[in-house]
Amino acid sequence: MTEKIVLNMITQRSIEEGVAMEKGKTTPEYFEACSVVEMNPEDMKALGIWRNTNVRVTSEVGSVIVKAIEPTQYCPPGLAHIRQGVWANQVVPPRTQSTGVPQYSGFPVTIEPVPSEKRKGALELVQGAVGLWRGGK
């Protein structure tokens, strides 16, 4: 599969993320709540994937592997949503329009299927970014 699709990304709160975050960001609950991208089934079809396939999401600043799921809250075609948190912030552009607030919502991303690749855990992503990841648990 080599198909790619360009979608408009937003990253916002969800109750799943809120509950899991209070349990702890290193828990499996937080991983499952936040390492997903919600996209319309039409867009999945255009991409040639079934739901629950891992995809690579790439923005102007970086990329992250997340699982594509059907929206829990309806997302129109063309729009994608990664819940706020560690995975979202791998691709959120830090540009602020001189207000201090990054572009958390409304930035273009390219999505491509990577069914054989694994999602990284929160610690691996954040510690990895700053050279502190030692692997394992």
What residues line the site for other proteins (CB under 8 A)? Answer: 8, 10-15, 18-19, 21-26, 61-62, 71, 73-76, 79, 81, 84-86, 89-90, 92-94, 96-106, 122-123, 125-127, 129-130, 132, 134
CA distance 43 to 78: 7
Q: Which is nearer to other proteins, 81 or 119 (CB)?
A: 81
The set of residues, in sequence order, having a beta carbon less than 8 Å from that of 120 and lying 6+ positions away, is: 64, 65, 128
Please tell me the distance from the alpha carbon of residue 53 to that of residue 51, in angstroms, as a whole number.
6
Residues facing 95 on adjacent strands: none
Residue written as token pair 């996209």: 39
CB of 34 to other proteins, least distance (A): 9
What is the nearest approach in angstroms of other proteins to the Cβ of residue 55?
18
Nearer Cβ to other proteins (114/126): 126
